Amino acid sequence: MPTRARVDEFIAVVESGDHAGAIEHYYTEDASMQENTAPPRVGRDRLVAHERGILAQMKEVHSRALVSVVEGDHVMIHWNFDLVGLDGKTRHVDEIAMQEWRGDRIFRERFFYNAAKA
């Protein structure tokens, strides 16, 4: 079960812009991520590679956690992301991340957002 301090550390790393580093340091080796109803991606190395691929398409990423709730092994974070593409266009993503933690690491995460705006 994560402590509030551990979750706040994770949030601070993401807000600093180190998205891939957050996955490397806060996810289990067998972690999964799922976008809305798409099939989950499984395995930390795969998750890091996917994140780096997304970031390579961005000029800037601004991440902000608006609210986070810790309830036992479950964490919910309401994120706002402003993604500036290489073309200079900015997309705003309002997302809810539902996480299941194993000890002090994220084991399973599912994201909910409006895919038409992402």
Ordered by where they begin, the domains of the chain are 4-113 (3.10.450.50)
What is the pTM assigned to this prediction?
0.93
Quick one: which of 113, 52, 107, 30 has its CA closest to 79?
113
Binned at pLDDT 50, 70 and 90, residue 117 comes out as low
Task: Say what the pLDDT of residue 115 is.
Answer: 78
Compute the radius of gyration of the chain from its Cα atoms: 14
* DSSP-assigned letter for residue 5: H
Task: Say what the pLDDT of residue 95 is.
Answer: 97
Contact 42, 28 (CB under 8 A): no
pLDDT digits (tens, 9 = 90+) for 59-111: 999 999 999 999 999 999 999 999 999 999 999 999 999 999 999 999 999 99
Q: What separation, in Å, do the N-terminal and C-terminal C-alpha atoms of the chain show?
A: 31
Average pLDDT value for residue range 20-37? 98
